[in-house]
Structure 1
Amino acid sequence: MKKFIQLGCVPVLFLLGLSSAVAEWDENKGCMSCHEGIERFADIEEMQDLTCVDCHNGDGNATTIEKGHQQLWANPTDLRIIDETCGTCHADEVENAKTSIHATMAGIISGTRYNFGAQSRDSIHATYDVKALKTGREGTVDMLTQLPSYDPKKPESATNSPGDDYLRNQCLRCHIWSDGHQRDGDYRASGCAACHVEYSNAATYEGGDKAIDKNQKDRPRLHKMTKKITVDQCQHCHNRGGRTGVSYMGMIESDGYGTPYTADGSKQGKLHGKHYNFVQADLHYEAGMSCIDCHTSAEMHGDGYLYTKKEHAVEVRCETCHGTTTTDATLKTARDNVMTHLKREGAKVTLTTKNDGKALDVPQLNSKALSEEGRVAMVKIATHMENMECYTCHAPWAPQCYGCHAKQDISKPNGDWLQGANDDVSQLGKKANLQKKAFSWNESRSYVRWENPSLGINHRGKVSVYVPGCQVFLTQVDGNKPIVANKTYTTVDGTSGISHNPIQPHTTSKNARSCAECHTNPKVLGLGGGIYDIQRNFAAGKAPIDFELERFVDETGKQLQSTSHKGARPFNQAELERISRVGTCLACHGSDEITDKGQAPDDATHNKVLRKMVKKNQ
């Protein structure tokens, strides 16, 4: 008979860093002989009869720590053993989670391999072999196979790419088969606990368990499951790539200089291995909204489909909450799922935040008094609403990391985020347990910007914000022996592997970008700023590319840089000319006089009008 106090399922003891002072064993207390004061993991009624060993395994009759911890699962929510724990009650959710983009990383993998010239833009690989539970939806595939490993002794090929090693050693630390990176801001658990067990940025335990050292890193804040997922928790992964987690809070990584930001003037510490500058936060964050107030459980947990990119998995739209200038808010996602925390009373829509129950009034575009600029942009020029994403204008900044200089040293074996070794299978995704099946990488960059993000066409055929992502210059060495220096790739489609991609930057502002910024700034159009000298930034002027890092299209509409999103592209020549022509008109007419209609039919007519105006004013 098991002699344990019933705690509810107890996943995240990851504990096992017991303090030296261990209580005398009491067979009537069992695990609680040492873990006195530990929090009940869940308060829901269905979990009240579960004991420690029901979730953590181990030996429920042992009278020593060593025997009690034999065959222990430190994290019962890890995907490797979850079928025997959470999956006994939540089988559908567990199966869906294994197909989610959070588990497969299909988009990151395909995008990286595409830019390394190893495959097309179609997703073919994931973290591990996986089959879809549902098929047939746009942007999905039926199955994905595990990402190959890289062997530098073999010729580089579609199945033997340095990009695969780059992914395995660097990029793939953020998937729910693994724990987080072991540094402030990145600590988290694997499996369900990756989201549902909160970690502070310092990753120290703040609960009542007397066996746990409060100063030891890599511990959850509490031994407690939560449905109230904070922005900080999401940020433990979403601080690389698109960087939407940190951008949402108004954080942009600096070039390495720490600056005072606390009230006492102490220096800023690093999060995610970086120093940050603080700029304008997203207005939704300022209003008190968390990521889960927009993003649905189907997006987060998966729904059985194998999505190739996150933009296909995301189902929420701006019009879900705000409507358009001519239609009501749907209060439903693009897949017709009802947003239950949105309510309509007459013309008023209210959102109740999921974490703290705060009621927020949601502005409705078809009943809101617009500014003159807003009326011009959204009503007088109706094609803006039809052809552009809302955030194209309302995201005034976006993180732009130019030139990713990636150095691989094949003389130094290093951890592979997809291969671990440990007696406890629930710990195979921990950094300390990674097998050295990959090689060491070092990353640096050319420069960072946040202002005037570029624009282009996204996979939906709409004008969207574009950011660099990513612009790899590969240097490969064998110890002190150079093999390759600043190599860039050409994609299977013939474009440079240096890339720009569309993004929803999560930096929404009430005040939109100006008409002049988008219609007159060549950088915004993807033409570059004309200032960065690519040749002088490489030794002896041997730059591997002949265009500046901000320039991903030329004036004829020729695409210079790749985009890994199918259907996405830079502006073509006709679009560039039309956008620029409006910029020319703005100099005389101002935005309030520019409309879809009323344009001169041709240059001759326009010149005739101009001459008449000049003569009249002489």
Structure 2
Amino acid sequence: MKKTFLLASLLLILIVILALNQENTPSWTRYQKEYFTEQISNLQVQLGTVDDPTKKDQLQQELASYQKRKPEIINIVLPNGKVERCKTCHIGIEEISNSHPSNTFGCAVCHGGNPLSLDKTTTHAQMYGGGHPGSLDVVSLSCGGTGANGVSCHAGNHEQAKNEADLVKTSIMSTKAGELSVVRMMFGYDKSKDIPGLTKGQVGFLYPNPLQGRPNEKDFRQNCLSQCHQSGGVLPTSISTKNPNPERTQGKGQVESKDIQGNGCEVCHVLTNPTHTYIGADTTIKSSKIGRGMVHSLTTQIPYTQCNQCHNQGNHDPLKMSFAIRTDMTEVVSDWKAGDINWLDRLKDYYLPGEIFAQCEVSLDCIDCHTRQDVMGDNKLHTSQYDAVHLQCQDCHGTKEALPRTKQIEDPNDLAFEEKITNPKFPELKNGDEILMTVKGEELPFSRHQGSDWVQSSRVTGKTFKIPLVYGSKCQQSLMQQGADSCHKCHNRSALHP
């Protein structure tokens, strides 16, 4: 009996000692040890698959380095002399982009917070957007702020096109002004597309009395205006109903969660998977927590699969004030890693059942057609999707009366050259090159004159496509019929008849 009591007492003392030791051990040392363990495991797996002696020796040296490594405080000294310690905890985090190296920009310029602290609560206090610095309510402080070198980022520039943090707030995707306008006109509240009192940067969800107190006003706000992929609205998503924080069930395997939201800039520029979980190397960001990008990385090569996380998920019914999610989305989501073999795969993934389209709309990615001002806004408050879109079919294909509008590059400081910085797939652009221009005057630098042909280069894959021209063809479409709907009357493929 005494022996049992003694053993129990020793065990209790041991547990207390371990608990106290755990409490007194800084959390950053635990994060670093978890990261070292994970890297060691990954390297051991790689060693078992490598036969090349040089590569194997390199891996063994790297493995030995991690096995000897001890936790330590990591200081990043920026060009302006300021010190940040964020990577002491976030030791495995990915570099955000080649254009924003952490040893030059640091972390706080985008995320805010207190980068000298090693205490989680203190460090994360006053972070912009609660960890989502691209949210439009804080984007002027993050993306629109000033770098460590004193240079303005995406706001405050002389060229309006470079002030994306300001322009994006006027984007029709940010304001939801289009849906607000259509529904109000349908109910007879407005005679035109203009919405009384709606101002630049104001989200449609915040518009006072959008349906003037009608019983379905609440449903309109919740099911239509709140589902916005740039203004922080809740997004419908095809994730498991085992989601720890489900808000509403939209159908089989479909839930809405307060953790799955549109967060401004990052909802396009940080790629996500269907479960919105992190799969990178930062051990502080648990993979089970939803509402994250796949890795801590920005991209301007935005594939259609990213756009599809918000668009073409289903249909809004403006009469019932409801949203019906596609019945085939489960199949699309389960196959998202497979990649596209041909344009028929894209057809299955991208287009809503019953929708009519032209083949080019499926072969290309969304950003191959939609321009910078289409997506980022042009500083004007549009309440019509037609007015907001800067590209028409004739901008690439011309009309039966004339060839597309073009521009010859003559200025080495032309904005078209900026695409080379933001996109490695950008084909080399030189003075003297001829590119296409939209009717509204926006450059299309990925559409080039090559010999006797016009060629479109994909901004995502780099693949090239020859652009067929209407001029000189058998097309009899009139100049007044240049909207996509008109072109679809002849180019009328569908999911059932591809």
TM bucket, shorter chain: 0.5 to 0.7
Q: How does 1:69-468 map to 2 (within 5 A)?
A: 69-73=124-128, 74-88=131-145, 89-91=153-155, 92-124=163-195, 129-130=199-200, 146-149=206-209, 159-172=212-225, 173-181=227-235, 183-184=237-238, 187=260, 189-239=262-312, 282-287=358-363, 289-330=364-405, 331-368=436-473, 375=474, 378-379=475-476, 386-387=480-481, 389=483, 390-396=486-492
Over 3 Å counting, the alpha-carbon distance change for 1:338 and 1:114 in structure 2 is same
SS at match of 1:393: coil
8 Å Cα contact 2:301/2:459 also seen in 1: yes
- TM-score normalised to the size of structure 2? 0.58
Counterpart code for 1:184: S
Which amino acid in the other structure matches residue 200 of structure 1?
Answer: N
Query: Contact 1:180–1:236 at 8 Å: present in 2 too?
Result: no
- RMSD across aligned positions (CA): 3.9
Going from structure 1 to structure 2, the CA distance change for 1:217 and 1:21 (only over 3 Å counts) comes to farther
Runs of at least 5 residues in structure 1 that lack an aligned partner in the other structure: 1-17, 133-142, 151-157, 244-251, 264-274, 369-374, 399-449, 452-506, 510-618
Is the 8 Å Cα contact of residues 269 and 299 (structure 2) preserved in structure 1?
Answer: yes
Instruction: Tell me whether 1:22 sits opposite 2:31 in the alignment.
Output: yes
Query: How many Å separate the matches in 1 of 2:262 and 2:325?
Result: 24
Contact 1:341 1:352 in 2 (8 A): yes
Length-normalised TM-score, structure 1: 0.48
Residue 123 (structure 1) shift: 2.8
Q: CA deviation at 1:228?
A: 0.8
Q: Is the 8 A contact 2:358 2:488 kept in 1?
A: no
Between the aligned partners of 1:276 and 1:314, the Cα distance in structure 2 is 20
Q: How does 1:556-567 map to 2 (within 5 A)?
A: none
Question: Which residue identity lines up with residue 176 of structure 1 in the other structure?
Answer: Q
More strand by share: 1
- Structure 1 contact 253–276 (Cα < 8 Å) conserved: no
Change (3 A) 1:77 1:386: closer
Q: Which has the higher contact order (CA 8 A, sep 6+)?
A: 1
- Relative distance call for 1:44 and 1:259 in structure 2 (3 A) is closer
Give the Å deviation of 1:59: 1.9
Q: 1:161 to 1:71 in 2, by over 3 A?
A: same
C-alpha distance in 2 between matches for 1:129 and 1:67: 37
How far, CA to CA, are the matches of 2:457 and 2:275 in structure 1? Answer: 30
Alpha-carbon distance, 1:39 to partner: 0.5
- The CA deviation string for residues 511-541 of structure 1, in whole angstroms up to 9 with x for no partner, is xxxxxxxxxxxxxxxxxxxxxxxxxxxxxxx
- Structure 1's 295 and 256: CA in aligned 2 closer, same or farther, altered over 3 A? closer
Residues 148, 164 of structure 1: 8 Å contact kept = no
Name the aligned partner's letter for residue 300 of structure 1. V
Q: 1:397 to 1:117 in 2, by over 3 A?
A: farther
2: distance between equivalents of 1:47 and 1:259? 39
| Local SS of the residue matching 1:87 | coil
Asked whether the 8 Å contact 1:333–1:339 carries over to 2, the reply is yes
Q: Following the alignment from structure 2 to structure 1, what is the Cα–Cα distance between the partners of residues 215 and 305?
A: 32
Cα distance, 1:131 vs structure 2:
6.8
Whether 1:37 aligns to 2:92 is: yes
Residue 255 of structure 1, CA deviation: 5.7
Which AA in structure 1 matches 2:181?
S
Q: CA deviation at 1:283?
A: 1.5
Deviation track 1:119-161 (CA, whole Å, cap 9, x = no partner) reads 33433268x75379xxxxxxxxxx99941248xxxxxxx6323
1:164 aligned partner, one-letter code: E
Q: Which amino acid aligns with 1:109?
A: L
CA pair 215-241 structure 1, distance change in 2 beyond 3 A: closer
SS of aligned partner of 1:27: coil
Match of 1:404 in 2: none
Q: Give the Cα–Cα distance (whole angstroms) in 1 for the partners of residues 303 and 352 of structure 2.
A: 20
Task: Indicate the SS of the match to 2:444.
Answer: coil
2-side partners of 1:257 and 1:95: how far apart? 34
Shift of 1:26: 4.2
| Structure (1/2) with the larger helix percentage | 2
Deviation, structure 1 residue 357: 1.4
Aligned equivalent of 1:59: 114
Aligned-partner SS, 2:271 = coil
Aligned partners of 1:394 and 1:253: how far apart in 2? Answer: 28
* Separation in structure 2 between the aligned mates of residue 350 and residue 210 of structure 1, nearest angstrom: 45
Query: What is the distance in 2 between the residues matched to 1:391 and 1:20?
Result: 61
Q: In 2 relative to 1, CA 129–146 (structure 1 residues): closer, same or farther, beyond 3 Å?
A: farther
Instruction: Assess, with a 3 A threshold, how the Cα gap between structure 1 residues 102 and 131 changes in structure 2: closer, same or farther.
Output: closer
Cα distance in 2 for partners of 1:321, 1:120 equals: 34
Amino acid at match of 2:382: Y
Identity rate, percent? 24
